[in-house]
Amino acid sequence: MLRRTFAASLLALGAALPAFADAISDAMADVQKYAGQKTVWDGPTSGPAAAAGKRIVVLAADMKNGGILGVTNGINEAAAKIGWEVTVLDGAGSVQNRAAAFGQALALQPDGIIINGFDAVEQQAALKQACDAGIPMVSWHAGPVIGPDPANCLFANVSTDAMEVSAAAAKWAFADAGGKPGVVIFTDSTYAIAIAKADKIKETIESLGGTVLEYVDTPIADTSNRMPTLTTALLQKYGESWTHALAINDIYFDFMGPSLAAAGIAGDGAPKAVAAGDGSESAYQRIRSGQYQAVTVAEPLNLQGWQLIDELNRAVNGAEWSGYTSPLHVVTAENISFDGGDNNLFDPGNGYRDEYGKIWGK
């Protein structure tokens, strides 16, 4: 029923705008591929049994970030299943704090390290120390490469296909605007992956014939301070020509709503917020209530936490990485109720917990 409703709305939009119908229907057909339920496990079905009694450290970029928190929750859940001890160190949103946390991690002499949500290049010296010490490392969103990243001594970098995420967000905005979006893009040049995602959003919007009004580089760690005044300034600058706000993750939209409300804009009004990742709890709440976010292109954060543990188990066992790229999910008000949506996250109903348990012999 949800799929029929979604498809019907796309057809109606295309019919209402015949000049753009083909481009709009093509864009929305691409989006729809990612809007359905995820019921079939498409990940690994074999691998090494659980290595016993490992102690690992998770280096989190900033635990205030909903995506990083979601991945950490998955890591803790999976570690409990496999029988490992986890220490989480919070980098608290700054390069200096992450450097200090990395130093603390090395002092603990763990059996493995998980880099959660910051660019590997940022802490290259510490990465080399860990590498020289023979500590296996895996990561989430540590760069644009999915899988092994030997240049940074990473056994595997876990992510959805960031370019697909960005293209899906941009295509939704294009079609939702009737083929004439006026877009502001928010990114953070501290992270190579953030720039790559924002560039893909820009490229997609412009190739479809839409307009990128502005490309805003503002730190993720300082969104609470910057986004309210930035939002007000952009509204004053672009007015009704600003139809959609696209950001490289949800955290930018945690702080836009009050400024939009103060300007008299309804929760479901323009500019509509569309996030190219991560599918945070707050994003789900905004989409469900129709309050200042229309879409998130969600990653399966909890599943990715499980994958990180599995990849690290492969590393300590001397096996190859799994080769798995996790699925993305375009979340709208129409399909928010399935695949974990009732719990404010994209948690695929594909049995991944049982599948990883089978691999580990647990």
Per-residue model confidence as pLDDT tens digits over 243-285 = 999 999 999 999 999 999 999 999 999 999 999 988 888 999 9
Q: Could you give the CA distance from residue 218 to residue 233 in angstroms, rounded to a whole number?
A: 14
pLDDT of residue 123 exceeding 90: yes
The pTM assigned to this predicted structure is 0.84
Helix 301-316 with 352-360: angle, nearest 10 deg: 10
Average pLDDT rounded to a whole number, residues 346-359? 96
- In tens, the pLDDT along 155-174 reads 999 999 999 999 999 999 99
Total residue length of the chain: 362
- pLDDT (0 to 100) of residue 66: 83
Which range in 31-35, 100-104, 121-125 is most confidently predicted, on average pLDDT?
Answer: 100-104
Phi-psi region of 339 (alpha: psi -120 to 50; beta: other; left: phi over 0): left
Nearest to residue 107, comparing CAs of 133, 83, 79? 133
DSSP reduced 3-state for 149: strand
- In tens, the pLDDT along 174-220 reads 999 999 999 999 999 988 889 999 999 999 999 999 999 999 999 99
CA separation, residue 303 to residues 278, 308, 325, 355, 356 (Å): 13, 9, 11, 11, 10
Q: Could you give the CA distance from residue 62 to residue 60 in angstroms, rounded to a whole number?
A: 5
Residue type, 276: A
E strand or H helix at 89:
strand 85-90
- pLDDT (0 to 100) of residue 21: 66
Domain 2-33+162-298 belongs to what topology?
Rossmann fold (3.40.50)
- In tens, the pLDDT along 6-47 reads 444 444 444 444 545 688 999 999 999 999 888 999 999 999
Q: Which CATH architecture has domain 55-159+300-328?
A: 3-Layer(aba) Sandwich (3.40)
SS3 content of the chain, % helix, strand, coil (to 5): 50, 15, 35
Place of tokens 């390290």: 113
- In tens, the pLDDT along 221-244 reads 899 999 999 999 999 999 999 999
Q: Where in the chain is the domain with CATH 3.40.50.2300?
A: 2-33+162-298, 55-159+300-328
User: HSE of 300 in the Cβ direction (CA atoms, 13 Å)?
Assistant: 29
Q: Are strands 154-158 and 147-149 parallel, antiparallel or unpaired?
A: antiparallel
- In tens, the pLDDT along 47-94 reads 999 999 999 999 999 998 888 999 999 999 999 999 999 999 999 989
Task: Compute how many other C-beta atoms are within 10 angstroms of the C-beta atom of residue 191.
Answer: 25
Band of pLDDT at residue 143, cut at 50, 70 and 90: confident
pLDDT of residue 1 exceeding 60: no
Residue 37, token pair as written in the block = 């339920």
- pLDDT (0 to 100) of residue 191: 87
- pLDDT (0 to 100) of residue 7: 46
Beta bridge partners, 244, equal 183, 272
Residue type, 105: A
CA separation, residue 283 to residues 40, 127, 157, 221, 226 (Å): 25, 33, 24, 17, 19
